[in-house]
Amino acid sequence: MSQPSDVEFVNVTKRFGDIVAVDHVSLSVERGAFFSFLGPSGCGKTTSLRMIAGFDQPTEGDVRLSGESVVGTPPYKRPVNMVFQHYALFPHLNVGDNIGYGLRQRTPQPPRAEIEKQVSETLELVRLSGYENRRIWELSGGQQQRVALARALINHPTVLLLDEPLAALDRKLRREMQIELQTLQREVGITFILVTHDQEEALSMSDTICIMHDGRIVQTGSPTQLYDEPINRYVADFVGKSNFFEGKVVEADGQGARIETPAGRTFAGRNPRDAASLQAGAAAVLAVRPEIIFVGSPGAGAPYDADVEAPAVIRNRIFLGEQTEYLVEAEGLGEVLVRAPKHAETQTGGFNPGDQVVIGWQAAAALALEDA
Ligand SMILES: Nc1ncnc2c1ncn2[C@@H]1O[C@H](COP(=O)(O)OP(=O)(O)OP(=O)(O)O)[C@@H](O)[C@H]1O
Ligand SMILES: [Mg+2]
């Protein structure tokens, strides 16, 4: 038995005049899940969150919380809190008063001691104990972010909506806050719905990611599913890095396809799970992740039975720690990105710009995708 769904969209469309911000979206978020909307600017992520929170109403379709329609229910009557894209703290209030604000607005207002107790408990949750009397401008970006989180959490929502909560932070702080958010979600056990256009953030934090494009859902799945089984080029391009070789389908069955490039080469690739089968004659791409391509010295032999092999020249080398990323110019393939694990380079010490090499891969690891 799966968990009951906490948030549901049934064929939801949201129009602003002529603009279709959200276009016939149906989805279901399980209780206690960490769910993310991922997509480029303007694809409808914030609008989707605002409909869950109640700041916007759908033009068509139904929004449900715990199975009940909430269309028309005002935000303050929903068991949902939202941390905004530009976290709006009250600059004239100190940390404690910012966090306790929601409780003080209640009628009847809880006793002062109760508010103080809850503020202090929530501060502990976001690891800011003792910061009650600090002014907002005396806090770092990450600390301000945690105040914004605490201000939402103190209302004990069943669903917490986070709109690009870490966008303003630098890389290192972001990484720390990502881990803290995950830990916090496990501690409080409520449903988190995150909006981000940062694929790394979505991949590292979410149980389920919903990839959006122009107001529509392209694919929903676990991080691994989206990475290993992207249903088209858009998803493969958005999630992780990939090489794409464009061409036309010359042969296809339910398992995979052969794609012919304009240069006359044909490549085989497998059909991802859940992807529609490709039709002969259709435009398609072969997607090859940089880490499934080997790079070796000419004549040294491939590390496995490669289905595709090509001589190449190293153009650029980027050291990434556990991996080295090479941009190579390969015969008949053009520019190809390759990632070699450190352990594969202990013998050779790796390659440098100008070196002649051989690259290759196995067809079973390449994907034949719709060019969308
Ligand atoms: N109040 C509004 N009035 C008119 N158009 C709007 C309104 N709110 C959003 N839109 C439009 O709806 C579309 C989706 O906007 P939305 O804010 O949901 O995008 P987003 O995915 O959150 O983008 P970003 O990553 O830039 O925050 C955009 O084309 C936007 O211009
Ligand atoms: Mg937005």
CATH number at residue 333: 2.40.50.100
Report helix angle 112-125 to 95-104, nearest 10: 120
Task: Please check whether residues 179 and 316 belong to one and the same domain.
Answer: no
Residue 294 lies in a domain: yes
DSSP string, 252-292: E-SSEEEEE-TTS-EEEEEPPTTPPPP-TT-EEEEEE-GGG
- Indicate whether 48 and 171 sit together in one domain: yes
Are 79 and 161 in the same domain? Answer: yes
pLDDT in tens, 38-83: 999 999 999 999 999 999 999 999 999 999 999 999 999 999 999 8
267 strand-pairing partners: 259
> Quick one: which ligand is closest to 38's CA?
1
Residue 221 shares a structural domain with residue 263: no
Ligand 1 site, CB within 6 A? 16, 19, 21, 39, 41-47, 85, 197
Beta strands in 103-242 (DSSP E): 159-163, 191-196, 208-213, 216-221
Residue 174 and residue 259 in one domain: no
The number of folded domains in the chain is: 3
Euclidean distance between CA atoms 51 and 31, whole angstroms: 18
pLDDT of residue 1: 46
Q: Does a structural domain hold residue 298?
A: yes
Q: Long-range contacts: 340-345, Cβ < 8 Å, 24+?
A: 340/294, 340/295, 341/291, 344/294, 344/303
Where are the extended beta strands (E) located within 51-196? Answer: 60-65, 68-69, 80-83, 159-163, 191-196
**What's the CATH number where 128 sits?**
3.40.50.300
Tell me whether residue 111 is in a domain: yes
What pLDDT shows up at residue 3? Answer: 62
Q: How far is CA 216 from the centre of its chain?
A: 15
CA–CA gap between residue 119 and residue 116 (Å, rounded): 5
What percent of the chain has pLDDT above 90? 72
Nearest atom in ligand 1 to 39's CA:
21
Using CA positions, which residue lies closest to atom 1 of ligand 1? 16
Q: Do residues 351 and 280 both lie within one domain? A: no
Which atom of ligand 1 is nearest to 17's Cα?
A: 4
Considering only CA atoms, which residue is closest to atom 16 of ligand 1?
44
**Omega before 108 within 30 of 0, i.e. cis:** yes
232 C-alpha to ligand 2 centroid (Å) = 24
Residue nearest to atom 2 of ligand 1 (CA): 16
Query: For the segment 181-196, what is each residue's pLDDT rounded down to a tens digit?
Result: 888 898 888 999 999 9
Task: Give the Å distance between the CA of 42 and the centre of ligand 1.
Answer: 5
Indicate if the pLDDT at residue 86 is higher than 80: no
pLDDT at 177 over 90: no
Residues 171 and 49 in one domain: yes
Write the DSSP symbol of residue 190.
-
Of 228, 255, 272, which closes a domain?
228
Q: For residue 235, tell me if it sits in a domain.
A: no
Which of 253, 273, 288 is at the close of a domain? 288
Give domain status of residue 234, yes or no: no
Using CA positions, which residue lies closest to atom 25 of ligand 1?
41
Same structural domain, 270 and 311: no
User: Which ligand has an atom closest to residue 41 CA?
Assistant: 1
The domain of 276 spans 240-288
Amino acid 336: pLDDT: 97
For the entire predicted model, the pTM comes to: 0.89
Do 274 and 205 lie in one domain? The reply is no
In a shared domain, residues 277 and 328? no
Mean pLDDT over each residue of the chain, to the nearest integer = 92
- Residue 287, pLDDT > 50, answer yes
Domain end position, chosen among 184, 204, 228: 228
CA 225 to chain centre: 12
pLDDT at 2: 56
Looking at the fold, whether 281 and 309 belong to one and the same domain comes out as no
Q: Would residue 368 count as lying in a domain?
A: no
Q: What protein residues have CB closer than 5 angstroms to ion ligand 2?
A: 46
Regarding whether 281 and 327 lie in a shared domain, the answer is no
pLDDT band at 29 (very low <50, low <70, confident <90, very high): very high
In a domain, 369, yes or no: no
Closest ligand 1 atom to 48 CA: 18
